[in-house]
Every structure is written in structure tokens, then in C-alpha cells.
Amino acid sequence: MKPQHGGNLYRISKKHNIALSEIVDFSANINPLCFPGGLKRILKEDFNKIRMYPDPDCRQLVDAISDKYKIKKTCLITSNGATELIYLICYLLRPQKAAIIIPAFSEYEKALSNIDCNIKFVKLEDKEEFKLKLQDIRSLIKSVEVLFICNPNNPTGQKISHNTLCNILYLAKRHNVFVVIDEAFIDLIEEESLVARAQTQQNLFVIRSLTKFLGIPGLRLGFGVASARLSAKIKNFQPTWSVNTFAQIAGSYLLADSAYIEKSKRILIKERNFLSSELKKIKSVKVFDSYTNFILFKLLDHNNTTDLEELLIMDKIVVRNCSNFRGLDSSFVRVAVKKRAENKLLIKALKNIFG
Ligand SMILES: Cc1ncc(COP(=O)(O)O)c(C=O)c1O
């Protein structure tokens, strides 16, 4: 089965006969701030580079990422979004047994299934606020070769405490298990990232996405961090020119703009808190705390997100129906944090529906 993600606005636009530009998209978790003015200008100036192959070594981009996140260049792999790295690490390691903590981003399961891996799922419970405890994986970790963790987690928004993560890494090392940590949504708690540790720990690969936080999903950009030895292997495995010219230019430009990055973080945290507190005022939903730029909630009275989707689409609002996340059901909905006017629009529409 092809995984369905948020953000498939092309399908929604066609199905409901709404222009793409009119859709208010809460289904994909993309930085809603306007780009700094200079981005359009430099992309226009470099338009003719469309006739040249991209720099296969992404030199300017590697410098920018290495500077910003303090990562040794030998430990860094730039990529066509985080997704490319999920597939590369699976194809490279080819584990026969792996574990995924669910609910989670569906591409881990897809990539592992492609290599006929036997997958064990560790299910987190909504009654426990989707918090992972060490005992959830203590015995299972002995029986797998690879463990996939998303921190903070999509779609729950929950994070794993630093202490628990360190204990998991300790156990993994003891039992010779390789750990892949997807930090696609760590930007709002950057201080908890394991990128520094991944440079020296041989059994750890940290995956980062730049498409979401920099707001460029159409360009595709991500990076991975691993020991120099593993990084070299992954790079060798990766198709040449994975990262296109404009992704390289935009990524370098935006990462160097610390004012844009800091402002994005500040506004996203403020708006997440606003959206969360407004959602909590609606009695018929349960709202889960989030460390990310999206919020998960559960419909308590009637459990059919499809009905809710149909009602919201009348206001041209699209949310993420979470029924196809393994470990969730049709009572769960995920919404992205957007700018104040759009967040208010969503709240107004939900209050109209739920009364
Ligand atoms: C947890 C997680 N990891 C990775 C990705 C993919 O990121 P990218 O667009 O950089 O490939 C997503 C996309 O939704 C995601 O939710």
C-alpha cells in the first residue's frame, strides 16, 4: 500500500474543485512564515544554473550546515529530504529484523518492507500521552538489529526524555543494535538533538529534515549525521546529484539567516501554545501536548475524522486524518501550527462544528 501523507493538495484540489491557492492547509507541518525577501532574488539570479548539473558535493550547503549545527563535514550527508536517508540507511544495513515505535511516520515501515525485513512494532498508548518508557523496549531490543525512533514524534508531537534516550542508546550498544533517530521536527527543541553524539557513536544515525522548518518541501532538503566511516559508506551508496541546485542555494541562504530562524522558532512556539489552548476549550476533543509545530487531538464524542474533514473542506480547510497511521484510528486528527489569522480560522470552524 502506498503511504498517504498530509499535504497532498493536488488530490484535494481536484476532488473538491478548489484552487490550490485557496486551500488553507493544516495537513502538512511547514513553516508558515514568509521567506526573507532575498530568497526570491537569489533564486532568480541563479536561474540559469538550471542548465548545469548541481554541485555533487554540495560544498556551499555543507559549509552552511556544518557551521550552523557544528557538525564535522566528514560526518555529514546532505540529501533529497529526510526521506531519502530513511531509504538509504535501510538499503545499506539490510536488517532482517527491525523495530519501529508507533504511531510513526509511515516511510520507515515502507523502506523496511522493501528489503523484506521482519518488523516489530512498539505501540505507544494515548492513555499514557504517547510517552515512551525504557521498559517498552527493554526486552524487544535484544531481538532486533535496527531500531527506528522519531524524536519528537510525528504524529503525536511527544518527545522522549534525554535520560530515556541515553538509556536506549546504552542498551542498543550493549546488544549490538543500530539506532536510527529521525529528528525531522526537533527544531523547536534543538538543544535536545543528538547530532553531536552521532558523529562519534558508531551505531547511531541521526536524520534531519530541512524541508519543514525552512518551508521548502517543494525543493526537498535534509541531512544526516553519522560517524565519518558510516557517512562515507552512505554517501557512496547515494545517487550522485541527489540535492538539486535550487535546494542547495535556498538551504545555504536560509540557514545563514539567523534572524529568520530565530523568528520562526519564536512565532511557532507562540502560535502552538495559542492553538493548543484554544483547542483545549473545545470540550469534545482531547488535545495532546506537543514539542513540535503540529498538534494531535482526539475526537471524543464521534470518532469519524472523515466527517470532520468533509465539514472543514467547506471552509477550504484541510487537516490530517490520522486513521492510516499504524497505532491510531479514525478518531485522531493532526493540525499544523500556522500564522495567527489561519489558526483563528481553524478554531472558528471547529467551534462552529462542535458547538
Ligand atoms: C517524521 C518525518 N520524517 C521525515 C519526513 C520527510 O521529510 P522530508 O520532506 O525532508 O523528506 C517527514 C515528513 O512528513 C516526517 O514526518
61-93 pLDDT, tens per residue? 999 999 999 999 999 999 999 999 999 999 999
Summarised one tens digit per residue, pLDDT across range 184-203 is: 999 999 999 999 999 999 99
Q: What is the mean pLDDT of the segment spanning 216-222? A: 96
What is the model's pTM? Answer: 0.96
Q: What is the pLDDT of residue 260?
A: 96
Nearest Cα to Cα of residue 322 among 32, 116, 29, 85: 29
Per the document, the length of the chain is 355
Cell output for 302: 464521534
The domains spanning 9-35+259-354 and 38-256 adopt the same CATH topology: no
Tell me how far apart the terminal alpha carbons of the chain are, to the nearest angstrom: 37
Q: With H, G, I as helix, E, B as strand and everything else as coil, classify residue 224.
A: strand
Residue 82 Cβ contacting ligand 1 at under 6 Å: yes
Give the whole-angstrom CA distance, residue 322 versus residue 79: 27
pLDDT at 126 over 60: yes
Q: What is the mean pLDDT of the chain?
A: 95
Give the whole-angstrom CA distance, residue 196 versus residue 265: 21
Q: What is the pLDDT of residue 107?
A: 97
Summarised one tens digit per residue, pLDDT across range 307-341 is: 899 899 999 999 999 999 999 999 999 999 999 99
Q: How far, in Å, is the centroid of ligand 1 from the Cα of 162? A: 22
Q: What is the pLDDT of residue 346?
A: 97
Q: Which listed CATH number (3.40.640.10, 3.90.105.10, 3.40.50.720, 3.90.1150.10) goes with 9-35+259-354?
A: 3.90.1150.10
Residue 54 Cβ contacting ligand 1 at under 6 Å: no
Residue 137 Cβ contacting ligand 1 at under 6 Å: no
pLDDT at 4 over 90: no
Nearest Cα to Cα of residue 215 among 331, 318, 337: 337
Give the whole-angstrom CA distance, residue 72 versus residue 85: 18
Q: Which listed CATH number (3.60.20.10, 3.40.640.10, 3.30.390.50, 3.30.750.210) goes with 38-256?
A: 3.40.640.10
Summarised one tens digit per residue, pLDDT across range 231-285 is: 999 999 999 999 999 999 999 999 999 999 999 999 999 999 999 999 999 999 9
Q: What is the pLDDT of residue 7?
A: 63
Q: What are residue 244's DSSP bridge partners?
A: none
Give the whole-angstrom CA distance, residue 81 versus residue 21: 24
Per-position DSSP letters for 292-351, written without gaps between them: SSEEEEEESS---HHHHHHHHHTTTEE-EEGGGSTT--TTEEEEE---HHHHHHHHHHHH
Q: What is the pLDDT of residue 13?
A: 87
Q: What is the mean pLDDT of the segment spanning 301-308? A: 79
pLDDT band at 43 (very low <50, low <70, confident <90, very high): very high
**Sequence spans of domains, the chain:** 9-35+259-354, 38-256
Report the atom number in ligand 1 closest to the C-alpha of 5. Answer: 14
Report the atom number in ligand 1 closest to the C-alpha of 153. Answer: 1
Mutation to probe ligand 1, out of 31, 89, 212 (largest number of atoms < 8 A from CB): 212
| Sheet of strand 76-79: strand arrangement | 76-79, 222-225, 204-209, 178-182, 146-150, 97-102, 118-123
Report the atom number in ligand 1 closest to the C-alpha of 29. Answer: 14
Report the atom number in ligand 1 closest to the C-alpha of 86. Answer: 4
Cell output for 8: 497532498
Q: Could you give the angle at the alpha carbon of 177 between the alpha carbons of 85 and 137, nearest 5°? A: 100
Output the furthest CA–CA distance in the chain (Å, rounded). Answer: 58
Considering only CA atoms, give the Rg of the chain. Answer: 20
Residue 209 Cβ contacting ligand 1 at under 6 Å: yes
pLDDT band at 216 (very low <50, low <70, confident <90, very high): very high
Q: How far, in Å, is the centroid of ligand 1 from the Cα of 66? A: 21
Residue 83 Cβ contacting ligand 1 at under 6 Å: yes
pLDDT at 161 over 60: yes
